[in-house]
Amino acid sequence: MERRLPASVLGLLTLTVLVAALVGFAVRTPAPPDETVNQRSSSAPSVAPATPAPSSGASSPAPSSPSAAAPVERVLLSVTTRTGATLRALAGDCESGGAVLERSLDGGQNWATVPTPLPGLLRVTALSATEAWLVGTDKDCNARFSRSTDGGRTWKTKTATTGAWHLLPLNATQLHAPRGNVDSPCAEGLETIDLAVTDDAAAAVLCQGGRVQVTRDSGATWTKEGVVAGASALAFADVSVGFAASPGGVSCNGTLVSQTLNRGATWRERGCVEGAVDGVALAFLSKNVGLLTTAQDTWRTTDAGRTWASL
């Protein structure tokens, strides 16, 4: 039976959200677990990003210092290129749970909830109409890998996430690369907002404040790229073409989508998703076709983010 996310869960979302918008990729057989999660010093702030104005390009100022705000949930999204299979989720967390997972088989027009084996989710990946995998956390905040081959009715969970890029629980000083944990490239005290992956070696991180950091060597080194001020979601169609979502300003009553054609070095405003005023997630099937979703509504673009149609 199809249904949208519960209204009680939607109430937890704010205009800014920590996201993980990521297109599925092949994952190697997990090896022994690598579950160490370093937390930031208690003296460092643990806050959600403020809501600045959208970026106008690479000349944007450096990320501002975080300001106090209530914690927010990540919205996660994945769509596969082979079918219309799509997953989206409210991430929840390891301590209080609350993860909610939904599946669409028609490209995001209709959604049905499916059971999730983990109380908190860090990444969701749709592989086909029947296959999917999740990275999440158990009740002790250890990272876990779960896979389903029957449309999410049942899941097999392993105690390792080797082979997969994914974020770690909030306030962690690291993120997980295919070969293990690597230091977050975000400045001390700034959260890692989102992670966009193109392959085992190439990934991009969105830091609190809008700075984009890129790696081409599985997280061994990172390059500081441009800034999309206030951005809360990041997606790359390939190693060069990427998209970021940030709260709209005076001219956009919703979410502003910006595009990069040079690996995140410079960004230009591309289009407005009218009505997308809650936390959002992005996923792109190609350089032109992509989805943007809140916990309740979904939009589609076929012209690289210039125009968006509500589904």
Number of domains in the chain: 1
> Which residues contact residue 43 at a Cβ distance below 8 angstroms, ignoring those fewer than 6 apart?
none
The pLDDT of residue 56? 38
DSSP string, 13-74: --SS--EEE------PPP-S-----PBPPTTS--------PPP-STTPPPPPPP--------
The pLDDT of residue 75? 83
Tell me if 37 is assigned to some domain. Answer: no
Residue that has been written with the tokens 């193109």 in this structure: 198
Tell me if 197 is assigned to some domain. Answer: yes
DSSP string, 6-26: PHHHHTT--SS--EEE-----
Residue that has been written with the tokens 């009715």 in this structure: 153
pLDDT tens-digit map of 197-236:
999 999 999 999 999 999 999 999 999 999 999 999 999 9
Q: How far apart are the C-alpha atoms of 101 and 13, rounded to whole Å?
A: 16
CA dist 123 to 74, 78, 163, Å?
10, 9, 13
The pLDDT of residue 81? 61
Tell me if 33 is assigned to some domain. Answer: no
Tell me if 236 is assigned to some domain. Answer: yes
Residue that has been written with the tokens 């049942």 in this structure: 154
Global confidence as pTM: 0.75
The pLDDT of residue 283? 93
pLDDT tens-digit map of 118-177:
999 999 999 998 999 999 999 898 999 999 999 999 999 998 899 999 998 777 889 999
Q: Is the confidence at residue 60, as pLDDT, over 50?
A: no
The pLDDT of residue 73? 58
With residues binned 3-state (H G I as helix, E B as strand, rest as coil), the percentages for the chain, rounded to 5, are 0, 35, 60
Tell me if 108 is assigned to some domain. Answer: yes
CA dist 39 to 89, 141, 184, 189, Å?
24, 12, 11, 11
**Nearest one of 143, 90, 87, 94 to 119, comparing CA atoms:** 94
Q: By CB neighbour count within 10 A (0-12 exposed, 13-18 middle, 19+ buried), where does 189 fall?
A: middle
CA dist 275 to 75, 141, 255, 270, 293, Å?
17, 35, 8, 16, 11
Share of the chain above pLDDT 90, in %: 60
Tell me if 225 is assigned to some domain. Answer: yes
Q: How far apart are the C-alpha atoms of 77 and 291, rounded to whole Å?
A: 9
- Residue 14: count of CB within 10 angstroms of its CB: 16
Tell me if 12 is assigned to some domain. Answer: yes
Tell me if 252 is assigned to some domain. Answer: yes
Burial 159-187 (b: 16+ CB within 10 A, else e): ebbbbbbbbbbbbbbbbbbbeebbebbbe
Residue 308 — very low, low, confident or very high, per pLDDT cuts 50/70/90?
A: very high
For all residues of the chain together, what is the average pLDDT? 79
Under 8 Å between Cβ of 88 and 306: no
Which residues span the domain enclosing 134? Answer: 7-28+48-310
The pLDDT of residue 77? 86
Q: What CATH number did the domain enclosing 274 receive?
A: 2.120.10
